[in-house]
Amino acid sequence: MSKNVSVLVGSLRRGSYARKIAHNAIGYFPEGYDARIVEIRDLPLYDFDYDDPEVTDKPTPPEYTQFREIIQAADGVLFVTPENNRTIPACLKNAIDIGSKPNSDVAWKGLPAGIISHSVGRMGGYSSQKNLRLALSYFDMPAPGQPEVFLSQSPTLVDQDGHISQDSTVQFLRDYILRFARLIEDQDSVR
């Protein structure tokens, strides 16, 4: 039985480095894994009125319901995010907020999470990854330990065809994805 991994890209731009890195990472999953990008671009901004049973004139958007169902059906979630203004992009935070409700049925609860951050500078998205980990910590989402993945100077990592061009980076990402896959399998055996 194949394992489903939802891949969330913290950039809406089609040609973003985060999206290119995500496409590469998807190819590093072992056989038996179905990893796919779940688009977050059309999710309406989170508004608790949609989930408040006392508010009857604002039905929950179908995009919320579909997104929550996709995440709940996943065996794990891989986040690939750039750093925007020393934190995660608003679109990714919005997706996290949508998946966090309703309180009785949180989509993220206990799902294994992998995180790859990047930046065009030398810090590799350190701040975005730490902020993402903080946002996810409430949901008891296990994640691979050290080494974490902070990809610096991302424009130099990806060639014109969108492939990661440095062998050492490819190996590093492959190792991380394999550790993440093992975590998914370990978590699956405890559920």
Using one digit for the tens of pLDDT, what is the confidence trace for 135-158? 999 999 999 989 999 999 999 999
Q: Specify the pTM.
A: 0.95
Band the pLDDT of 122: cuts 50, 70, 90: confident
Domains and CATH numbers, the chain: 3-189 (3.40.50.360)
Band the pLDDT of 31: cuts 50, 70, 90: very high
Q: 77's torsion region: left (phi>0), alpha (psi -120 to 50) or beta?
A: beta
Asked whether residue 63 carries a pLDDT value surpassing 70, the answer given is yes
Residue partners of 45: CB distance under 8 A and separation at least 6: 94
CB 134 within 8 A of CB 87: no
Instruction: Report the pLDDT averaged over residues 46-51.
Output: 94
Cis peptide bond upstream of 102, omega within 30? yes
Structure tokens at 90: 């608003």
The pLDDT value recorded for residue 84 is 87
Which of 50-64, 85-99, 121-135 shows the lowest mean pLDDT across its residues?
121-135
Structure tokens at 114: 């992998």
Q: 125's torsion region: left (phi>0), alpha (psi -120 to 50) or beta?
A: left
